[in-house]
Amino acid sequence: MLLLEYLNAHFYTRQQLLEVTGQTEARFINYQNQGLMPACSYRLQLSIVCDSVFGTHNEQLAIEYYAKGYGAWLTMLHQLDTDTDTDIYPIFQRRYLEAIKKLTIPEGNGLERIPDTNLEQHIQQEWEHFLAGTYGLCTQSGLPEDIAAKELAIITINALTSKDELSHNELLKLTTAVTLLDEVSAAFAPHEKSRSSRYRLVDEIRRRYRLADHANT
């Protein structure tokens, strides 16, 4: 089954996440209840029917899948030994801002900036999506650095593709943004690919603007 192959290759189950970090389930659930740890990105509800010489056995099973990058986040929470988001949100915010700065400095990728007037509200919304497990599904790591990179890449791609015509330098900038989005985006589950940002803003933009022609010019 392609979905199971994808999930098992790119994500940890809850049990695997606890094993690689050495955390207890009780502590993990407490972190989630306190709004410090993201929810799962996928949840499978399985109905199992087993036939044997003893007859038929039916069983219901739920499996949660988490981005592998969440292992580092969970370890950080344990090391900080805190139960309040007033201690943790500033860490998310700082890492997000540092990623933005790195990507928008003149010698960096030259991506579009998020207006300063909207930045604080924007990061707060990103934090909420982070806790919901959204970015564990659609980025490689699910962590602030990949989230910031994804958002800046999308803002840049949308700004450039809204124009009727692009200059050579703008095509190079578009190539940079698409490449970045490609690097930080998840592969997406087979049934999600055609509706994903990867398909719309990486695959289709490369095809539409023939970006391979501009990659090395």
pLDDT single digits (tens) 92-134 = 999 999 999 999 876 555 688 888 888 999 999 999 999 999 9
Contact criterion met (CB below 8 Å) for 184 and 149: yes
On the question of pLDDT at 199 being above 80, the answer is yes
Q: Which two tokens stand for residue 34?
A: 């306190």
DSSP state of 201: I
* pLDDT value, residue 16: 98
On the question of pLDDT at 214 being above 60, the answer is no
CA dist., res. 217 & res. 212, Å (int):
10
CA dist., res. 211 & res. 217, Å (int):
10
Q: What is the pTM of this model?
A: 0.91
CA dist., res. 21 & res. 70, Å (int):
10
More reliable by pLDDT, 23 or 117: 23
CA dist., res. 149 & res. 183, Å (int):
9
Handedness of CA 210, 214, 216, 217 (dihedral sign): positive
